Structure 1
Amino acid sequence: MTHFGLAIQNFVGPTATPDIDELYRYSTRAEELGFESLWAWDHVILGVEPAFPILDAVGTLTAIAARTSRIKLGTGVLVLPLRNPTVAAKAIGTLDVISKGRLILGVAAGWYAREFDAVGVPFKQRGRLFERNFEILTRLWTEDRVTLQADELNLREAVMRPRTAQHPRPPILIGGYVDAVLRRVATKGDGWLTYFYTPASYTKSWEKILGFAREAGRDPRTLTGTNQLAILVGKSRAETEAPMRQWLQTEWDVAAWSESTIEHAIRGSAKECIEQLRAHVASGVDRIILIPYRYEPEQVEIIAREILPALR
């Protein structure tokens, strides 16, 4: 069965400001409506002219955790090389404890060089640093004592308590597109998280991941796949085409080295949106994270009332 999550608006357009009270209302309503999960975006800085306001993903989800009780909470995705892994393990682990085990950790190597420069992390080493930080993070959560020397990090019988609420650790999804990342998903992660992929593109990359898992001697059935999709439900495809395209072209990016495309967008009447989403469900995706048009509460209600019942 495909699960349906919902992206949250901790990341807004350049003329807006994140509204924490609206985030609380949106999140508690999503839980009431039966969405499986909520997903926060992550950047430290993004853009110059324009610059995009964004609230910290872990901090935002921790606040939401205190106001919800059942809905899962995901990072989609946390740029892991930007963080000191020991400090990150504490903050992320705290979120899992406060939420009583509702965290799904999405992580990736990152793509925005200016952000790496601002933090003092070498952009060209982000793949290696992702591997390093991933190892430290997971070992601190799963081992009694960690001794490890890596670059400037010197862990000497490091003990991190309390343990995460989920044992041995929260599930970790790895984001990215190129074969090196897909192989990392297959060998290190619990699943893959991608963005703006059509059913055909998703299937193509997912088959690669399954093949890499088999090569590594891993049971591919232990992996899960997640795709993030924008959606606008209106009267017709013709009515929704222009506003959706304008939103995606002005406030969203697609990676040139990936198969992400704004053409993925789910738009049209309820019937048309259901048919488009059925194609994604047929691809075998385990979770779809819906990004409702401009995060409008009315869209969330329509999705829950008119779209999801037909897909469950």
Structure 2
Amino acid sequence: MSGDASDVTFGVMLTAASNDYGLEEAEIPPAVRRLATTAEEVGLDAVVAGDHVAYPEEIPTDYEYSKTGEPPFDTTTPIFDVFQLFAHLAAITEEITLGTNVLSVPYRHPVLLAKNCLSAHALSEGRFELGVAPGWLSSEFEALGIPFEERGTRTDEFLEMFERVREKEVLGFDGEFHSFEPLGFYPNPDEPIPILVGGKSGASIRRTAEYGDGWTTIWDKPEEVREIRERLVRAWSDFDRDGEPQMVVTRPIHVGTDTDLDTDRLFVGEAESIVEEVEQYAEAGATRVNLDFYTTDVDAQAEQLERVGDRVLDAL
């Protein structure tokens, strides 16, 4: 079932917390505070951030989200723990959702990860959203002592455990990788924590339908979102799920023609053309668009968010 553009919500990706912005460490906290509060002020619905623990020297040079294949980070890039980041932002925002997009599940012991999620949800008064994936940076897995080939099954094990935690609150667990006697998982707010799952493999689609509320991706075009949604709807039916899966896509944006970027690109140009492209995503099944940027200049990013609020949201 295709949606309507007016029903699409919007978020912003805080890449300044994990990518190389050329900022001094002391400059990053004010930057992420500014972007998060600006996003809330202009009417966006979510602030999301990625998850890494420590960037190793050995990083694959086939990073698909840059022109050169080189990732926008290295061993000297400051990385802010995503849960501490959200605890900080929860105190200076009031309504905006705070979400991981995405968190590498195997990096943390499942009991600790459950505690982090429940705490973030409680401290934000029900505004936390958990976006998960098995992870991709094999050298980071090696540094953490976690077998890379086990990442998918470890992710499933956590999601199975966390589903039980939300139902029982006091739980013992006997899994393939982790087992423990009954433990109390508190705080455990009444509001359910939305779970989004990343990845395009058959296992990822199955994982989304079995445990998630929806699916999340980066940079995919409307036709790619439509194709994944068709696969996900079939899996949704296989697991007898009610309702419709959420579909979230992250894309960079530049509102306006004051750019050297090709205005034929998606989400580059005047608001009217961007609204038309949001409509294409809505028709493909997207329910939220998380905005990223073509610039690492924080002033320019904040201005773009203001343009989104003034020109794009008002036109939907």
TM-score, normalised via structure 2 length: 0.84
Does the Cα contact within 8 Å between 1:197 and 1:264 map onto a contact in 2? Answer: no
Runs of 4+ with deviation above 6 angstroms = none
* CA apart distance, 1:81: 1.1
Distance 1:279 1:99 in 2: 33
Contact kept? 1:196, 1:264, Cα under 8 Å: no
- 1:309 maps to which residue? 314
Q: 1: distance between equivalents of 2:286 and 2:78?
A: 31
Give the equivalent residue in structure 1 for 2:79.
Answer: 54
RMSD: 2.1
Q: Quick check: 1:5–1:290 contact (8 Å CA) kept in 2? A: yes
Stretch deviating more after TM superposition (152-161 or 77-86): 152-161
Q: Measure how far apart 1:278 and its partner are.
A: 2.3
Q: Which residue of 2 aligns with 1:251?
A: none
Question: Which residue in 2 is equivalent to 1:247?
Answer: none
Is the Cα contact below 8 Å between 1:6 and 1:38 reproduced in 2? Answer: yes
Instruction: Establish whether residue 35 from structure 1 lines up as the match of residue 44 from structure 2.
Output: yes
- Structure 2 residue 49 is matched with structure 1 residue 44: no
- Structure 1 position 277, deviation (Å): 2.4
Tell me the number of residue pairs that the alignment of Structure 1 and Structure 2 aligns. Answer: 287
Matches within 5 A, 1:239-254: 239-241=260-262
CA distance in 2, matches of 1:154, 1:78: 22
Alpha-carbon distance change, 47 to 147 in structure 1, aligned in 2, over 3 angstroms: closer
Structure 1 residues 272 and 75, CA, compared in 2 at 3 Å: closer, same or farther? Answer: same
1:199-278 matches, cutoff 5 A = 199-219=222-242, 221-235=243-257, 239-241=260-262, 265-278=266-279
**CA drift at 1:42:** 1.1
- Paired position in structure 1 for 2:32: 23
Conserved? CA contact 1:81–1:129, under 8 Å = yes
CA offsets, 1:157-198, max 9 Å, x none?
1111121352xx301111111122111111221111111110
Change (3 A) 1:144 1:272: closer
Deviation at 1:266, TM superposition (A): 2.0
1:161 aligns with 2:182: no
Structure 2 segments unaligned to the other structure (5+ residues): 1-6, 60-72
* Paired amino acid for 2:256: G
**Secondary structure, aligned partner of 2:12:** strand
- Aligned equivalent of 2:220: 197
Contact 1:193 1:226 in 2 (8 A): yes
1:15, CA displacement in angstroms?
3.6
Q: Which amino acid aligns with 2:253?
A: I
1:77 aligned partner: 102
Q: Structure 1 unaligned runs (5+)? A: 243-262
Q: What SS does structure 1 have at the residue aligned with 2:225?
A: helix
Query: Which amino acid in 1 is paired with 2:200?
Result: Y
CA positional deviation for 1:151: 4.5
Give, in whole Å, the separation in 1 of the partners of 2:291 and 2:147: 33
Contact 1:273 1:307 in 2 (8 A): yes
Distance 1:86 1:206 in 2: 32
Residue type of the partner of 1:304? Answer: G
Candidates 130, 145, 148, aligned match of 1:120: 145
**TM-score, structure 1 as length reference:** 0.85
Q: Is the 8 A contact 1:198 1:264 kept in 2?
A: no
Cα deviation, residue 222, structure 1: 3.9
Aligned position for 1:106: 131
CA distance in 2, matches of 1:45, 1:161: 28
Identity %, equivalent residues: 29
Asked if residue 11 in structure 1 is aligned to residue 18 in structure 2, the reply is yes
234 and 46 in structure 1: CA distance in 2 versus 1, 3 angstrom threshold = farther
Distance 2:86 2:234 in 1: 34
SS at match of 2:17: coil
**Offset from partner CA, 1:104-146 (integer Å, 9 cap, x none):** 1101111110111111110001011001111223322331421
1:289 and 2:310 are equivalent in the alignment: no
1:212 deviates by 1.1
